[in-house]
Amino acid sequence: MLIVHHLGISQSDRVVWLCEELGIPYQLRRYDRDPQTRLAPAAYRALTQFGTAPVIDDGGLVLGESGAIVEYIAQTYGNGRLILRHGAPGYADFLFWFHFANGSFMPAALIDSMVSRMDGNPDGVTTALRARFDRAYDLIEERLGSVPYLGGDDFTAADIMILFPLTTMRFFSRRDIGPYPHIRAYLQRIGARPAFQRAMQKAEPGLDLETVLA
């Protein structure tokens, strides 16, 4: 059986959610962060050579990297559901947003989180890096002003990929989404999905969904 190694408050939320959306059987193994360092415990870091979340084990095949895992599960167990194929309407948009989540948005969020903890006046490079984070939010807001989901009219794996930096990542990199009405409406649409609710109940028990989506 597919085993999902889930680290609490991490990108592995995506994998649990994907399994629930596809309705496939899986075994969830949950790990709590170290209460002092907030890092993954040693047992989790030992699962892969790089030692980061998420991780799956599929009959002895151990795979890391959330984008790779999402593609693997969708193709292996979901017959390609939630993955737009070449030639499909919105294919290029789907590809962009699927990879934008970790290729541009997550690094910008991490930089913003680190810079916000630094003392002193920001220099030009720091200011430019933080501006990249602002541009990412502006770009997502603009996109969601014209379509209900990032890939277009239908929910896809691109939405699964983007949600972590829009929600749970804000535990690490604070962001007021008040100025982004289209993002707020999008999060409410996502939050109403039964599969998302089931996934969060399993992956993050006790976490207030309203706090995550607000």
What percentage of the chain has pLDDT greater than the value 70? 94
What tens digit of pLDDT does each residue of 116-152 get? 665 556 666 667 777 888 999 999 999 999 999 999 9
Give yes or no for a contact between 45 and 51, defined as CB atoms under 8 angstroms apart: yes
**Cα 27–chain centre separation:** 20
pLDDT of residue 88: 93
pLDDT of residue 118: 59
Give yes or no for a contact between 136 and 108, defined as CB atoms under 8 angstroms apart: yes
What tens digit of pLDDT does each residue of 153-174 get? 999 999 999 999 999 888 777 7
What tens digit of pLDDT does each residue of 179-198 get? 999 999 999 999 999 999 99
* Domain ranges for the chain: 2-77, 91-193
How far is the C-alpha of 4 from the C-alpha of 56, rounded, in Å?
5
Q: Would you say domain 91-193 falls under CATH 1.20.1050.10?
A: yes
CATH of domain 2-77: 3.40.30.10
What tens digit of pLDDT does each residue of 45-81 get? 999 999 999 999 999 999 999 999 999 999 999 998 9
How far is the C-alpha of 122 from the C-alpha of 138, rounded, in Å?
22
